[in-house]
Amino acid sequence: MSLLAVEQLDARHGLLQAVRGVSFALAEGEILALVGANGAGKTTLLRSISGAHRISAGRVLFDGADISAVRASARVRMGIALVPEGRRLFAGMTVEENLTVAGETRRRGHWNLETVLEAFPMLRPLLRRRSGDLSGGQQQAAAIGRALMTNPRVLLLDEVSLGLSPVAVNMVYESLQGVIAGGATIVLVEQDLSRALRIATRVACMLEGRIVLEGKASDMTRERVTEAYFGLRRPDAGSAVS
Ligand code: ATP
C-alpha cells in the first residue's frame, strides 16, 4: 500500500486554479522529485499535502486514510512535515530553539537533537546563533533539521536549492543523502533537473497545474523531462498522464 497518495486533487488561489486533477502515489522509502517551471503549481501541491492550503476537490490519503479534512498541525503529528519555500525559521530564535520548538508534541522516533546534529554537522557550532543571522545554506539545514525533529514519515521539501550557493547546495544535499539512506520518504521540489534525477526514485513534471509526466527516475532522460517541462511532449507520446 502507498504511504502517501493524492487523488484528483484541485487547489485554487481565488479564481486561479493552481493544481488541476493531480494524482500520484508514493510507497514508503520512495523519493519523488517534483519539477516544473515557475508557477506550475508545485508549491501549492506541497502545501495542499501538508494541510497548509485547503484543497477544492480530490483527496489526500496517508497510510490509507483520507486526511483531506485534517488540520495541518494534526498532519504534523501524523508524520507529514513540510520544509517551506524560503525556510521560514523563527528568525529571532536560536538554531537550538528552532530545532526543539516542536517540544513534546513531536512523534517518537529516530530523530532528536543529537541525531539531527549528526546528520547536519554544520549546525553543531551554530546552536546558540540567531537563525536570522545564518547564511542561506545554514538556514536550509536548520529548516530540514527542524522538520526531521518531528520524526516525519513523509518529508515535503520545497525548493531545497533556491538562493543557495553551489557549495551550500552540495553540503545540504550531502546531509540529505544520509537522511535518504536511513529510509526516508520524501517529496521534493528541485529546479536543478540533473540533481532531481540523481536523487529521486520517481519524477513528476508539472505544467500549468497538471502532472504531464510521471514515472521512475531510472526510466527518465533529461530530454524527456525537459520536453514535458516546456510542454513540448505530444499527449500520446508514452507515459504522459492527466
Ligand atoms: P514557483 O517555482 O514559482 O514557486 P510553483 O510551481 O511552486 O512555482 P505555485 O507557487 O504553486 O507554483 O503557483 C501556482 C500558481 O498559483 C501560479 O500561477 C501562482 O502565481 C499562483 N499563486 C501562488 N500562490 C498564490 C497566492 N498566494 N495568491 C494568488 N495566486 C497564487
Task: Determine if ligand 1 sits within 6 Å of the CB of residue 109.
Answer: no
8 lies in some domain:
no
pTM of the model: 0.91
Task: Determine if ligand 1 sits within 6 Å of the CB of residue 40.
Answer: yes
239 lies in some domain:
no
29 and 1 Cβ atoms separated by less than 8 Å:
no
65 lies in some domain:
no
Report the separation in Å between the CA atom of 132 and the middle of ligand 1, taken as the mean of its atom positions. Answer: 25
103-121, pLDDT tens digit by residue?
767 788 889 999 999 999 9
240 lies in some domain:
no
Range from 18-22, 96-100, 219-223 that averages highest in pLDDT? 18-22
Q: Is the pLDDT of residue 238 over 70?
A: no
26-68, pLDDT tens digit by residue?
999 999 999 999 999 999 999 999 999 999 999 999 999 999 9
Nearest CA to ligand 1 atom 30: 13
22 lies in some domain:
no
Report the separation in Å between the CA atom of 41 and the middle of ligand 1, taken as the mean of its atom positions. Answer: 6
211 lies in some domain:
yes
Among 10, 15, 16, which is best to mutate for testing ligand 1, by the most ligand atoms less than 8 A from CB? 16
Task: Determine if ligand 1 sits within 6 Å of the CB of residue 145.
Answer: no
Task: Determine if ligand 1 sits within 6 Å of the CB of residue 210.
Answer: no
Quick one: which of 170, 169, 239 has its CA closest to 204?
Answer: 239
Residues contacting 186, CB < 8 A, separation 6+: 30, 31, 32, 154, 155, 156, 157, 179, 180
238 lies in some domain:
no
Is 21 or 221 the better-scoring residue by pLDDT?
A: 21
136-180, pLDDT tens digit by residue?
999 999 999 999 999 999 999 999 888 888 888 998 898 898 889
Structure confidence at residue 239 as a pLDDT band (50, 70, 90) = very low
Report the separation in Å between the CA atom of 18 and the middle of ligand 1, taken as the mean of its atom positions. Answer: 7
Identify the domain containing residue 163 by its residue range. Answer: 29-53+71-229
197 and 203 Cβ atoms separated by less than 8 Å:
yes
Structure confidence at residue 227 as a pLDDT band (50, 70, 90) = confident
Query: What's the mean pLDDT when you consider all of the chain?
Result: 90
Task: Determine if ligand 1 sits within 6 Å of the CB of residue 38.
Answer: yes
Report the separation in Å between the CA atom of 44 and the middle of ligand 1, taken as the mean of its atom positions. Answer: 6
Among 43, 162, 188, which is best to mutate for testing ligand 1, by the most ligand atoms less than 8 A from CB? 43
Task: Determine if ligand 1 sits within 6 Å of the CB of residue 43.
Answer: yes
* Neighbour-count burial for 36-63, b at 16+ CB within 10 Å, e otherwise: beeebbbbbbbbbbbbbbebeebebbbe
Cα 50 from Cα 60, distance rounded (Å): 9
Q: Is the pLDDT of residue 240 over 50?
A: no
Q: What is the total count of domains within the chain? A: 1
CATH number of the domain enclosing 79: 3.40.50.300
Q: Which three cell numbers stand for residue 198?
A: 540523481
Report the separation in Å between the CA atom of 19 and the middle of ligand 1, taken as the mean of its atom positions. Answer: 9
14-29, pLDDT tens digit by residue?
999 999 999 999 999 9
63 lies in some domain:
no
